[in-house]
Amino acid sequence: MNLPAALPHATLKPTLTRAVRLFAAALWWGSLTTVCFVIAPLLFVHLPTPAMAGNLAAKLFTAQTWVSNACALLLLWGLRFDTAPSLIGKAPSAMLFIVLGLLLGLLVEFGVSPRILTRENLKLWHGIGVSLYALQWCCAAAVLWITALRSERAS
């Protein structure tokens, strides 16, 4: 299959970069949403004990952290190619939400989760973890919103 001659490499690269950024933003927000609002509650409904559900949920949240990290890094990489003059003012806000979401995920994984797993003041640390996860979810939603608007305007 031949590409049309009217589609030079210079046009293909920004289009591909926008598509990758939009995919990464959607994957980030969608995976956070699915794990938190669908999978984790189902574990507590269907597994025999809350301890089993909690242990499996912890493993899923760890995997989710690495998916989030990969998406955030891909989004940061994609911002390097955002050169359209009309979009330059939006890059700092997207970058702020990306970096904040990345840091929140790492804080939950390495600061809060170990305390939850040891059941050290479980109610307090679970509440902190839920709050930080919710903030990360909001950051991912903001990034998805900004990325979708940017992609639409650039088309």
Assess if residue 110 is contained within a domain.
Answer: yes
| pLDDT mean over 58-87 | 84
Assess if residue 27 is contained within a domain.
Answer: yes
Contact 143, 91 (CB under 8 A): no
Assess if residue 8 is contained within a domain.
Answer: no
Expressed as residue numbers, the domain containing 50 is 15-81+88-154
Assess if residue 10 is contained within a domain.
Answer: no
pLDDT bracket for residue 73 (50, 70, 90): very high
Q: What is the mean pLDDT of the chain?
A: 86
Assess if residue 59 is contained within a domain.
Answer: yes
Distances (CA, A) of 12 to 20, 96, 139: 12, 27, 29
Domain count, the chain: 1
pLDDT at site 109: 96
Q: Which helix (H) or strand (E) holds 141?
A: helix 122-154
Query: How far is Cα 9 from Cα 15, in angstroms, rounded to an integer?
Result: 10
Assess if residue 9 is contained within a domain.
Answer: no
Assess if residue 70 is contained within a domain.
Answer: yes
Q: What's the full length of the chain, in residues?
A: 155
pTM assigned to the model: 0.83
Assess if residue 143 is contained within a domain.
Answer: yes
Contacts of 83 (CB under 8 A, 6+ apart): none
Residue 7 has pLDDT above 50, yes or no: no
Least confident of 6-10, 13-17, 46-50: 6-10
Least confident of 61-65, 66-70, 73-77: 73-77
pLDDT at site 78: 83
pLDDT at site 98: 96
pLDDT tens for each residue of 39-52: 999 999 999 999 99
Task: Tell how far CA 39 is from the center of its chain.
Answer: 16
